[in-house]
Structure 1
Amino acid sequence: MVRFLFRVLSLLALCVGVVFCVIDAIASVSASQVIMTPISEAWIETHPGSLMTLEELVVGRLGDGAWLALRDVVLPQPAFAAMLVLSLAFWMIGYKKPSLAGRFAA
């Protein structure tokens, strides 16, 4: 059941990553230059209050240094790349290894 949940989360993250990639591709073609939307900008456009809530949570539990590292390292990354990496991580967590005995073993 948990593997199924992680596989579904992987599929959803993959779909969102592809949507972000298509949006960036369309914006890049229309502007005649490469445009990659950072996570922070996509997050603020989607739900601005939750980013402030995340900041309060991280500062309250981990301190200012953790928030500064998150803000300076993670949030400027392209949104499509972050979602694709998240999708890969969820898929790896939900992956079921094939049986060592083989497909037709009893």
Structure 2
Amino acid sequence: MIRFVFRLLATISLALAVILAVLDATRSVAMSRLVLTPLGESWKTLSPATLDSLRAMVEGRWPLLWDIVAVWLLSAPGAIVFAVLALLLYAIGHRPERHGDFAAE
């Protein structure tokens, strides 16, 4: 059951990565140069209130975490962040193949 949850989250993350990659590709074609939109900019466009509330919550409890990790993560391209997240979640939820369980194999 837990593996299913990780694979489901990996699928959702991959879908978000593809959506952000298509948006970046469309902008790149329109501008005739490579455009990689940072995750923070995409999030701010979609829902600035949630980004501000997350920032206030994280800075209130762990200010160093916001300054080091969150700022770096939000400045990275969103498609790449979600693609790496999808890969990690899939690796956690991957079911290893069994070999040699039966004598006939």
TM-score (norm 1): 0.89
- Over the aligned positions, Cα root-mean-square deviation in angstroms equals 1.5
Is it true that 1:22 corresponds to 2:22 in the alignment?
Answer: yes
Alpha-carbon distance in 1 for matches of 2:99, 2:56: 47
Within 5 Å, which residues of 2 pair with 1:62-81?
62-63=62-63, 65-81=64-80
SS in 2 for 1:75: helix
Post-superposition shift, 1:71?
A: 4.4
User: What is the aligned partner in structure 2 of residue 97 from structure 1?
Assistant: 96
5+ long unaligned stretches in structure 1: none
Secondary structure in 1 matching 2:98 = coil
Letter in 1 for 2:27: A
**What's the counterpart of residue 41 of structure 1?**
41
Q: Percent identical across equivalent pairs? A: 32
Q: What is the CA-CA distance between 1:97 and the residue it aligns to?
A: 1.0
Q: How far apart, in 1, do the equivalents of 2:18 and 2:10 lie? A: 12
Provide the TM-score with structure 2 as the length reference: 0.89
Residue 70 of structure 1: CA displacement? Answer: 2.9
**Distance change in 2, residues 1:71/1:3 (3 Å):** closer
Q: Which residue of 1 aligns with 2:4?
A: 4
Alpha-carbon distance between aligned partners in 1 of 2:58 and 2:88, rounded to the nearest angstrom: 22
| 1:87 counterpart residue number | 86
| Count of aligned residue pairs for this structure pair | 103
Deviations 1:30-89 (A, max 9, x none): 1011111100011111211111121122112212x2211134311110000001001011
